[in-house]
Amino acid sequence: MKNFFLAFSLVIILISCTDSKTKPTIIQTVNKTDSTTIKQIFNSALTNGQCYQWLDVLSNDIGGRLSGSPQAQQAVEWGEKLLTDLDFDKVWLQPVMVPHWVRGEKEEASFTVNNSTFNVPICALGGSIATPENGVTGEVIEVQSLDEAEALGEKLKGKIVFFNRPFDDTHIKTFRAYGGCVGQRVNGAKISGKFGVLGVIVRSMTHNIDDYPHTGTMSYGDLSEQEKVPTAAISTKAANLLSEHLKENPDLKFSFKQSCKTLPDAPSFNVIGEIKGSEFPDKYIVVGGHLDSWDIGDGAHDDGAGIVQSIEVARLLKLNNIKPKHTIRVVLFMNEENGLRGGKKYAEEAKNNNETHVAALESDSGGFTPRGFSFDKSGENHELFKSWKSLLAPYGLHDINIGGSGADIGPLKDGSISLFGYRPDSQRYFDYHHAETDTFDKVNKRELELGAASMTSLVYLLDTYLN
């Protein structure tokens, strides 16, 4: 039926020119079947969507699912069963060894000024070592950057280093604000550790001034065991309070305690479902998100949303009787948050098996209202992708531009594959990202469904126009 429509559909040719003297250049052929198909995809997502109900299960019944945890294993089993129930042509688990870090018991922090004690909301960063059982206590040196810490050098010795550069609120796209700060979290300990510091605390990565600490991965780089120090995030409200008090009382003592540890690597899996392509069965289009999440929320936006949207893509294709030419693989990647082992393993296996990957799309920016897609500057067909704007704009997808794609699909980059990231509105993302507030109730059903429909539409276009 689809081919029938294709054959007889009206082709509208859009013409553009930069000035009146140049010849018209055909930049786009917009097929009426495309706009009809995309409308059908959105209609079915909004009236017959399943992804919101799936996310309810993943978030509320399974919950936070850090790599190596029992919940991560439950998520693997849930994903495998769901893909199987949805009647994919093939469903399998791809084994991968993952880091296994555990948070341990209660984390606590405080500082005292003039006999008044202020409790500080704190959480260990993923990968950090524990404090000694009684915690660490010391004077604090506040810095705004890795460079500032590096420059202070030996003056940091015996201190707790406090990285406190806030988000730059003037960025309209909040990922830019995150990008401008997250180095403090990832590399703060690596930079400070070599100077004999007691510990590292980092201002949480959020615009919000509130009481929630935001966790996330950190790295010791190639520090020796002796140089590694406990590292944690504190809430933005506490960071502001501490900073204020430090101005008046630079000698105040800060204490924190955490009992996290890294266990031996654990076995886990990427979960993969496949719809066989009708024309190019040996050429693959991947759509995915990451199945693991941080432990302190339930990972609804990061990245439960991307998981259920990716599965919904396959379901919406089937529901609308769209039979892809390429083989479509839905990949639920394991371990994006603290190792990227799943993404690396998938790419490694794809290479070992000489698989040709034409395109990959990741959703890992939350389940918010659609804004667009970004594509990696490597690969080809940029003008083709941009020409799809007129098809996608009616659904709020105006930003179709060069940019990042997704961490898990990044290892597939080979110069020719087209790598895409789904880009929903980013204003609320860092309210919840890696915090205990990332929970199912923060996800709006229609926004999630619109995202799934957007992704399905892009996969449909990639499948239709790429070879």
Q: Point out which residues bind a second copy (CB under 8 A).
A: 15, 17-24, 42-43, 46-47, 169-170, 172, 174, 207-208, 369, 371, 393-396, 398, 425, 427-428, 431, 444-447, 450
Contact 41, 49 (CB under 8 A): no
CB 455 to a second copy: min, Å: 16
CB 433 to a second copy: min, Å: 14
Nearer to a second copy, 197 or 397 (CB): 397
CB 427 to a second copy: min, Å: 5
Q: Using only C-alpha atoms, what is the Rg of the chain?
A: 24
Nearer to a second copy, 227 or 425 (CB): 425
- With CA atoms as reference, report the closest residue to 404 among 431, 368, 433, 377: 377
The residues pairing with 200 across neighbouring beta strands, listed in sequence order, are 161, 231
Nearer to a second copy, 44 or 418 (CB): 44
Nearer to a second copy, 49 or 213 (CB): 49
DSSP 167: P
Q: Which 3 state secondary structure label does DSSP give 435?
A: coil
Strands in 108-113's sheet, in edge-to-edge order, are: 116-119, 108-113, 253-257, 136-143, 160-163, 199-203, 231-234, 122-124
Nearer to a second copy, 20 or 353 (CB): 20
CB 185 to a second copy: min, Å: 21
Provide the CB-side half-sphere exposure for 217 (13 A, CA).
15
- How many whole angstroms from its chain centre is CA 104? 24
Distances (CA, A) of 290 to 41, 243, 294: 24, 36, 11
Identity of the residue numbered 398: H
CB 182 to a second copy: min, Å: 18
Using a 10 angstrom Cβ sphere, with 0-12 exposed, 13-18 middle and 19 or more buried, the burial of residue 140 is buried
Nearer to a second copy, 42 or 333 (CB): 42
What are the phi and psi torsion angles at 228 (to 5°)? -70, 135
CB 398 to a second copy: min, Å: 4
- How many whole angstroms from its chain centre is CA 407? 7
CB 144 to a second copy: min, Å: 16
Query: How many residues make up the chain in this entry?
Result: 467
Nearer to a second copy, 369 or 405 (CB): 369
Q: Which 3 state secondary structure label does DSSP give 199?
A: strand
Nearer to a second copy, 45 or 275 (CB): 45
Q: What token pair was written down for 124?
A: 């260990």
Task: State the maximum Cα–Cα separation within the chain, in Å, rounded to a whole number.
Answer: 82
- With CA atoms as reference, report the closest residue to 57 among 65, 67, 48, 47: 65
User: CA-to-CA distance for 105 and 225, rounded, in angstroms?
Assistant: 22
CB 379 to a second copy: min, Å: 25
CB 426 to a second copy: min, Å: 9
Nearer to a second copy, 2 or 446 (CB): 446
CB 425 to a second copy: min, Å: 5
Nearer to a second copy, 17 or 263 (CB): 17
User: CA-to-CA distance for 296 and 454, rounded, in angstroms?
Assistant: 29
